[in-house]
Chains A and B, each alone.
Chain A
Amino acid sequence: MTKKTESSLVFWVFLAPVLFAFIMVMVIPFFLGSYYAFTNWSSSARVDGGLRFVGLQNFAESFRDPAFLYSFGITFAYTILNMIAINVVAFALALLVTGELRLKNVYRVGFFVPNLIGGLILGYIWQFIFNNAIPSLGRIIPVLGFLANPGNLMLSKNTSALAAMIVVGTWQYAGYIMMIYVAAIENIPQELLEAAKIDGATPWIRLKSITIPLCAQAFTVTMFLTLVNSFKQFDVNVSLTSGGPSTMLMGQPILGTELLALNIYNTAFISNKLSVAQARAFVFFFVLAIISIIQVYVNKKREIEL
């Protein structure tokens, strides 16, 4: 066997397992899905017979559906607010645990721990906290009596339920993002901060003119991660609110906290409209791709400016 044929044999043999798995679960389903989105596909069990091409009907139907439009709106709201909340909390935590605290390693680990547990389980824990623990706090402390009123439950109204999802999202993710900031902050040359200190820069000025600009690269990464993960949120949504409570939009009852990922899932398995769900998944993908490109572009531009 010549060197060349040996090389090319090893190339294909080594690639074969991942290529096989990748083609089976990504490539083929991707192309099938691109086709199904334009058909009347209605059950994943029967694709062989009777698939009819329907053009853009699934997309048109989606954009006429108040539940889908509403999901879009709240997914944007959730993504932006969650991104801000996570990054602000994470950066503040990072500043605290890079200081001269005595137990800083213990704190770091503590803040990080929620991230190890899956979103589904975290959502159940917080459902218990919002529905049981917080009202009980209202019963114990007279000043907080309003918390015990069933009408004031966080998860009973859609705006406060969305806020509750942001609380859980922040708690779940801040510790992880904090670790990325910690790595960035610890990379800042100490001389720089000390020189500024000697020149009389206050802690605030040092933060604004040294620490934050030198973390610009980390911001690009963390904003990307939080953006994508918030936009794709599914697990916490399922276990914390299941999309509820119900509300009305355009004269139709819809779910008040149903994010896009859950809306897509429900369209397929509760409404049994697989082709419509597939079309929505494509819209979901394009919107996510566009906003993440914009985000990376804006952050990269800032990286250079700073």
Chain B
Amino acid sequence: MKQLRSRKPGMIVAEIVTALLFILFLFPFVLVLLNSAKTSFEVTQYPLAWPSRWGNIIDNVVKIWTSESVRYPSSLLTSTIVTVVSLVLINLFSAQAGWVLVRTKSRISSIIFFIFVASMVIPFQIVMFPLLSWFRTVTVATGIRLLRTYQGIILAYIGFGAPLSIFMFHGFIKSIPLELEEAATIDGCKKYQIFYRIIFPILTPIQATVLVLNGIWIWNDYLLPLLVLGKGNDIMTIPLAVSNFAGAFVKQWDLILTAILMAMVPVIIFFLFAQKYIVKGMVAGAIK
């Protein structure tokens, strides 16, 4: 209190304004929590009131957990598998691609890098319809199913996530001194070993950025899973599950908001653990 009094009045105003804005920014989430603990009647009549019985939240959670249109445990698992597998592969493949593109000075190498960079301006809308018919063609020709499967959506995430990731690895690798690799060669290290033993571990900071940027995108993405996995599929990501439920139970806000709450909880928990990396990664990714 003493500290506060010794400050200028301007600072106190700033403090209060910021605190109010902070509350305003987080209030929508508070509303989700409050209304997840209400009955259907309470939600429509008193959306701003304190819930009459917090125990309702358990009933609602159980309803969503067992709901056929959300299939929460299975959707959570699907989202996790799709995100984690895509991230691991994007990270490794883009890092090794970025490395050979920096270290190989040839025409073909520069052309490939240029194509990756140029492709970043292409919006998803341009390729999304032909992508579906192409995936079908591939299935007809080879028997490998790409639509409505894990392998299809993960392949798509690698393809769409690679350009930006390669670009970021490329920028970082350029600053690593070549002497390091030369020394390893003299010591008898094979070329591919140089990457896995020396370069890849050095890339940790930029890997964090790549993982965060792609992770937030993939976890929250709606349009690509909607197209590639489709509606009414056994494999359903969390955003698909929420939209599926909201479409089937229009105006059942007590349950829709509970589904939303359950969709947000994993993200919030993850954020609390990795907060530092996430904020840093997203800012670094934007500035690059």
Determine whether B183 belongs to the interface, using a CB cutoff of 8 Å to chain A.
no
Residues of A within 8 A of B220 (CB): 116-121, 235
| Chain B residue with Cβ nearest A218 | B287
Given A124-B256, A140-B48, CB of A133 within 8 Å of CB of B31: yes
Q: How far is the CA of A119 from the CA of B221 in the complex (A)?
A: 9
Residues of A within 8 A of B256 (CB): 124, 128
Residues of B within 8 A of A112 (CB): 279
User: Judging by beta carbons under 8 Å apart, are B191 and A6 in contact?
Assistant: yes
User: Judging by beta carbons under 8 Å apart, are B243 and A24 in contact?
Assistant: no
User: Judging by beta carbons under 8 Å apart, are A21 and B155 in contact?
Assistant: yes
User: Judging by beta carbons under 8 Å apart, are B159 and A24 in contact?
Assistant: yes
User: Judging by beta carbons under 8 Å apart, are A110 and B25 in contact?
Assistant: yes
Determine chain A's interface SS by DSSP, over half rule. helix
Determine whether B114 belongs to the interface, using a CB cutoff of 8 Å to chain A.
no
User: Judging by beta carbons under 8 Å apart, are A121 and B104 in contact?
Assistant: no
User: Judging by beta carbons under 8 Å apart, are A93 and B125 in contact?
Assistant: no
0/1 interface trace, chain A 82-117, chain B, CB 8 Å (1 if under) = 000000000001001101111110111111111111
Our count of residue pairs bridging A and B at CB distance below 8 angstroms stands at 248
Q: How far is the CA of A171 from the CA of B29 in the complex (A)?
A: 12
List B residues 83-122 near A (Cβ within 8 Å).
89, 93-94, 96-97, 99-101, 104, 109, 112, 116, 119, 121-122
User: Judging by beta carbons under 8 Å apart, are A32 and B134 in contact?
Assistant: yes
| Chain A residue with Cβ nearest B245 | A124
Residues of A within 8 A of B7 (CB): 100
Determine whether B178 belongs to the interface, using a CB cutoff of 8 Å to chain A.
no
Q: How far is the CA of A120 from the CA of B158 in the complex (A)?
A: 22
Determine whether A277 belongs to the interface, using a CB cutoff of 8 Å to chain B.
yes
Residues of B within 8 A of A93 (CB): 21
Least Cβ–Cβ distance between A2 and chain B, in angstroms = 12
- Chain B contact-residue range equals 35 or more
User: Judging by beta carbons under 8 Å apart, are A121 and B156 in contact?
Assistant: no
User: Judging by beta carbons under 8 Å apart, are A285 and B242 in contact?
Assistant: no
Least Cβ–Cβ distance between B4 and chain A, in angstroms = 8
List A residues 120-138 near B (Cβ within 8 Å).
120-122, 124-126, 128-129, 132-133, 136-137
Q: How far is the CA of A103 from the CA of B246 in the complex (A)?
A: 37
Determine whether A14 belongs to the interface, using a CB cutoff of 8 Å to chain B.
yes
Name B104's contact: one of A7, A45, A100 (CB within 8 Å): A7
Least Cβ–Cβ distance between A153 and chain B, in angstroms = 14
Least Cβ–Cβ distance between A105 and chain B, in angstroms = 10
Q: How far is the CA of A225 from the CA of B128 in the complex (A)?
A: 22
Name A239's contact: one of B126, B128, B246, B253 (CB within 8 Å): B246
Name B123's contact: one of A6, A129, A265, A281 (CB within 8 Å): A281
Residues of A within 8 A of B112 (CB): 15, 19
Residues of A within 8 A of B271 (CB): 113, 116
| Chain B residue with Cβ nearest A118 | B220
Q: How far is the CA of A104 from the CA of B116 in the complex (A)?
A: 39
Q: What are 8 A-B contacts with C-beta separation under 8 Å?
A: A26-B160, A33-B129, A113-B25, A117-B264, A120-B222, A125-B29, A132-B43, A278-B130
Besides A24-B138, A99-B11, 5 other A-B contacts (C-beta < 8 A): A13-B192, A21-B162, A29-B128, A128-B257, A171-B28
